Homo-oligomer: A and B are copies of this chain.
């Protein structure tokens, strides 16, 4: 008999003495609206509002948490239907049909035991899709059919789910060169629910393939001559204004290093001019990226966009995977990351400046108590983002609280933000975060380190108020 799928009402809450208190805290936050101001859901979903394709395309192929685990156990990316960059079908074409991909996933469901993907997926299966048995080789086809039927219904369209998911506001992530046309369409249809986020990474990394063409595109969009460095900065300022007009609240920066060190104008101009001609050293490119991080702080201090930084990931660790399947295929691996010295130029200039806000993320936990909490605990500009990526997990979130709260308190946090392309996982992610916080706070309560009335206030702040305060005030 297939194993019944029935997420426990107390899942991810502490056992023992703190359980009751944790239940009360979770009960007080579980129905708060969701603020999703750091997400990566494709704007096309909302703009077109067409039904989702099929279970594999909805739940497996685009979720690199899921595919990387399957790959780690020897399932080939082709068998999971990861699209090849050259568009060519693979030798195993037949096996990459959606139903086959889904079967592969179901047969390997045990691999996800103990991982947050499992928690999120169980939540989605049971509470969003109404499934009642666990995936397995035996149940794969039945589940495929059930999900297919479910997602074909009108109440399962992306926009309809916004309400069902209780999403108050969601942001997408958009390149500096995005024309925001889809956002414009959406703003007309559904005002104030979906806003863009300004992500200038591609234009800040001058040694990436195709950068000069991108800069031409940027200039055209901004109607500014980007053949000079000054024009480049002006174009970026322009684009930021366009994003702000479309409702953007924040920028987002994914750099290898947190270094935000300004160059002289002459140096910046020299590197920029060289790069336009395709003539740039790796060292210069890195220096320019750090310079642009600093410039982003300058611009945020001017225009008020919240600056989000998540550094420290070496992208595309396996170049063959990158060459064949492109970026974001689970082969990004963290490296040790430094913040104290790296952010000093920004913080000595803007750390105490009203209206400048810098939200810091990391996948290097060693900086939580050593650097991030001490920085957030003194600079008014700094808030700490939610545990990110690999650390957006029950134990990861718990460690984050334990490692930062004692130095930075609760009110220097950004509040929970999800960070996902997987639209269906959003309620599960917020719910899991609220459960972990409920458990952390309940443990403090039963250890008489926090009164329950204070814990309830803090829980609301972490789940909702602080995200509003950080991004929307």
Closest-by-CB residue of B relative to A334 is B370
* Contact stretch, chosen from A172-180, A224-232, A377-385: A377-385
Q: Mark A1-34, 1 if CB is under 8 A from B, else 0.
A: 0010001101111111110000000000000000
Smallest Cβ distance from A310 to chain B, in angstroms?
A: 14
Q: How far is the CA of A363 from the CA of B374 in the complex (A)?
A: 10
Smallest Cβ distance from A142 to chain B, in angstroms?
A: 20
The answer to whether B344 touches A317 (Cβ under 8 A) is: yes
Cβ contact of A348, chosen from B12, B113, B319, B395, cutoff 8 A: B319
Smallest Cβ distance from A135 to chain B, in angstroms?
A: 13
Closest-by-CB residue of B relative to A394 is B449
Smallest Cβ distance from A393 to chain B, in angstroms?
A: 4
Q: How far is the CA of A68 from the CA of B391 in the complex (A)?
A: 28
Q: Mark A113-155, 1 if CB is under 8 A from B, else 0.
A: 1111001000000000000000000000000000000000000
Q: How far is the CA of A96 from the CA of B334 in the complex (A)?
A: 46
A409-B115 contact in complex given A380-B74, A396-B369, C-beta closer than 8 Å: yes
Q: Please classify how large the interface on chain A is, using the bins under 10, 10 to 19, 20 to 34, 35 or more.
A: 35 or more
Which chain B residues lie closer than 8 Å to A406 at the CB level? 114-116, 390, 393-396
Smallest Cβ distance from A358 to chain B, in angstroms?
A: 12
Which chain B residues lie closer than 8 Å to A331 at the CB level? 378
The answer to whether B354 touches A74 (Cβ under 8 A) is: yes
* Contact stretch, chosen from A41-49, A287-295, A420-428, A450-458: A450-458
A72-B113 contact in complex given A11-B448, A366-B336, A406-B393, C-beta closer than 8 Å: no
Q: Mark A324-346, 1 if CB is under 8 A from B, else 0.
A: 00000011111110101100100
The answer to whether A113 touches B318 (Cβ under 8 A) is: no
Most buried by B among A18, A354, A382, A448: A448
Cβ contact of A450, chosen from B14, B113, B365, B405, cutoff 8 A: B113
Which chain B residues lie closer than 8 Å to A409 at the CB level? 69, 72, 111-115
Which chain B residues lie closer than 8 Å to A119 at the CB level? 449
The answer to whether A447 touches B11 (Cβ under 8 A) is: yes
The answer to whether A340 touches B318 (Cβ under 8 A) is: no
A334-B330 contact in complex given A73-B411, A369-B390, A390-B407, C-beta closer than 8 Å: no
The answer to whether A347 touches B454 (Cβ under 8 A) is: no
The answer to whether A370 touches B365 (Cβ under 8 A) is: yes
Which chain B residues lie closer than 8 Å to A395 at the CB level? 402-403, 405-406
Which chain B residues lie closer than 8 Å to A200 at the CB level? none
Closest-by-CB residue of B relative to A444 is B114
Which chain B residues lie closer than 8 Å to A15 at the CB level? 16-18, 443, 446-447
Sample of 27 A–B contacts (CB below 8 Å): A13-B447, A16-B446, A69-B378, A71-B380, A72-B378, A72-B380, A72-B408, A73-B380, A74-B354, A112-B409, A113-B454, A113-B458, A115-B406, A115-B407, A317-B347, A318-B347, A319-B348, A330-B377, A333-B378, A334-B370, A334-B371, A336-B336, A336-B370, A366-B366, A366-B370, A390-B407, A394-B406
Give 3 nearest A-B pairs by CB, closest first: A8-B448, A15-B446, A393-B406
